[in-house]
Chain A
Amino acid sequence: MDSQGKERQLGKRLERGGEGEIYALRDRPDVIVKWYYPEVLDKRGEELHRKVEAMRGLRDAHMTRDVCWPLIRVFDQQQRWIGFAMYRARGVKMSFLAHALLYQRYFPGLDRRRVVGYLIRFVEIVQQLHDAGVCIGDYNLNNVFCVPSSDQVTLIDCDSYQLRVGGTFYPCPVGSPDMTPKEHQGVSFRHVVRTPRSEAFSLAIVLFKCLMLGRHPYDIVGGDDPVRNLRRGNFAYGRGQRDVPQGVWYELWRELPETIRDMFVTTFTVGADAPIQRATLSQWHVALSEYREAMAAGEHAVQLATPGRPQRSQVLYAR
């Protein structure tokens, strides 16, 4: 039931997440409903309801288009709050775009111009959220949808976002160590306060993964897991080029404009320890826009290197 007490029919279940299930709304294919599991509602129902209400208060015309923001409250037949309805995102998960073997299947004809186009849109949406006092916190390429036929980008799973409304702070209680800056590692995410600088670090990882077809910036040869490398600021590319994974990865890296490479190097080496050194969202926006213009002017290669045809010479870069 919606808040007017009108009964709505749920369509088929689309997704089962950690906290609840996503259903289509029958007769309204553009609307979906998030229904929290009973045990989640028992434990944190009130808290969730308050947060979702605060989010509903924040919505504006821009947000509803670019992020799947909670729009309508949903109740069960006993008038108990069970979740919310939102617009359904169109497109394909960014994790398929940032995937050396799968991008061609899900994004036919993808080239660097289009990758950069999605990334510029992504940065703009995050900037728009930051302007509204909202931080994403839990960066996850499965939660960013890109429409293959256009440069449209939509963010989903927004109810975990960190926000501050009317003096109340709502944390982002979840996160992934691989996408989290050093200063927030090893702390319960529930107690973390994300900042534009911490967001800039996670965002740079998203940008790197897309431009590098799925490589994590802290994947290194002979190395530990990405999180340990992240904590040490052990970034293999850039100056010295030590321990870059075998394959086309160095070639992909070398194709990037120097400005962008420098911003990655700074963010992932000194910036791992010193948040102030990290490239900001507006710097990324400028650099990516310039990159797109340079590609349009024919100054940079547009096609993406294709893994799968290993060349001996590339192995040498890794040594």
Chain B
Amino acid sequence: MATYRLNRDSDLIDNPSPRCACMLVLDTSASMFGQPIRELNAGVQAFISAIQEDDMAACSVELGVITAGGKVTEQLPFTTAMNISQCRQFTASGLTPLGSAMELALDRLEERTAAYRKAGVAYYQPWLVVISDGVPTDQWQAASVRARTLAQQRKLVVMPVGVEEADLDALSAFSTRPAKRLDGLKFREFFLWLSASMSRVSASSSTTDQVKLPPTDSWDSI
């Protein structure tokens, strides 16, 4: 499937900007119903708008969205921010198949970086952001080992974020960095931070450089 998509994917041919893939894995299970899912939706929209305001980042950041709410849904296949016209609104329902959502995310990231290499497009370390308010309800250990190994090899930045009563230990298992807890429902603040981080990454002149990220104090809780 990936190869068919590549042939249609003229963006990688016309746009030589080094890419920063950013995959969002979002818990949209029933417990997110109400205010949390509304804030999450608003946060994702704010993220897309903020990236699009930064011309350089808009050409470099490729966003993908996978939700885990009852079933695993690929809401947005990797798309360069400048080409995103709108993102679907997510609804909250069902259990939290975070393990399979993460597996799918890792597959998609792998396909995407292979497409970059095939087109001769340089890329920064991709980002995988996972946001959940609970615990995965499916098998997630294998996916966590896979994600953490990539993070250890510095092939992936995994950023786990816990909302409200989330199990931070389970989320932390996906990464080499500990999960952060969102202060209340500050999704918007989180996503503006994420966009500022993406802007910094896409403005750095080297795809292999370490980028100093902005402070997280606008959205995390101690």
Contact = CB atoms under 8 A, between A and B. Distances in A.
B208 A246 contact: no
B122 A246 contact: no
Contacts of B15: 100-101, 307
The B interface is mostly helix, strand or loop, or mixed, namely loop
A269 interface: no
Given A178-B205, A178-B208, A226-B122, A101 B59 contact: yes
Contact of A214 (B16, B118, B206): B16
Contacts of B42: none
Interface residues of B, number: 27
The A interface is mostly helix, strand or loop, or mixed, namely loop
Interface in B45-98: 55-56, 59, 82
B59 A223 contact: no
Interface in B15-52: 15-18
A141 B206 CA distance: 11
B206 A246 contact: no
B119 A227 contact: no
Given A105-B55, A247-B14, A308-B14, A142 B120 contact: no
A177 B13 contact: no
A243 interface: yes
A178 B203 contact: no
A275 B52 CA distance: 41
A225 B205 contact: no
A95 B15 CA distance: 14
A172 B13 CA distance: 36
B122 A140 contact: no
A201 interface: no
Given A99-B59, A141-B205, A222-B120, A246 B212 contact: no
B119 A246 contact: yes
A206 B16 CA distance: 15
A99 B60 CA distance: 11
Given A222-B120, A223-B117, A245 B16 contact: yes
Contact of B56 (A102, A216, A221): A102
A249 B15 CA distance: 11
Given A101-B15, A307-B16, A222 B117 contact: yes
Interface string A206-245: 0000000111100111111111000000001000000111
Contact of B208 (A96, A105, A177): A177
Which has the most chain A C-beta neighbours within 10 Å: B12, B15, B122?
B122
Given A215-B16, A216-B122, A247-B13, A227 B117 contact: no
Nearest to A221: B120
B121 interface: yes
B55 to A, nearest CB: 6
Contacts of B117: 221-224
A297 to B, nearest CB: 30
B122 A219 contact: yes
B119 A225 contact: no
Which has the most chain A C-beta neighbours within 10 Å: B12, B59, B82, B120?
B120
B212 A18 contact: yes
A128 interface: no
Contact of B205 (A99, A179, A220, A245): A179
A310 interface: yes
B120 A243 contact: yes
Interface string B109-131: 00000000111111100000000
B10 interface: yes
Would you list the 6 A-B pairs with minimal beta carbon distance, nearest first?
A: A245-B120, A176-B206, A221-B120, A178-B206, A307-B14, A247-B13
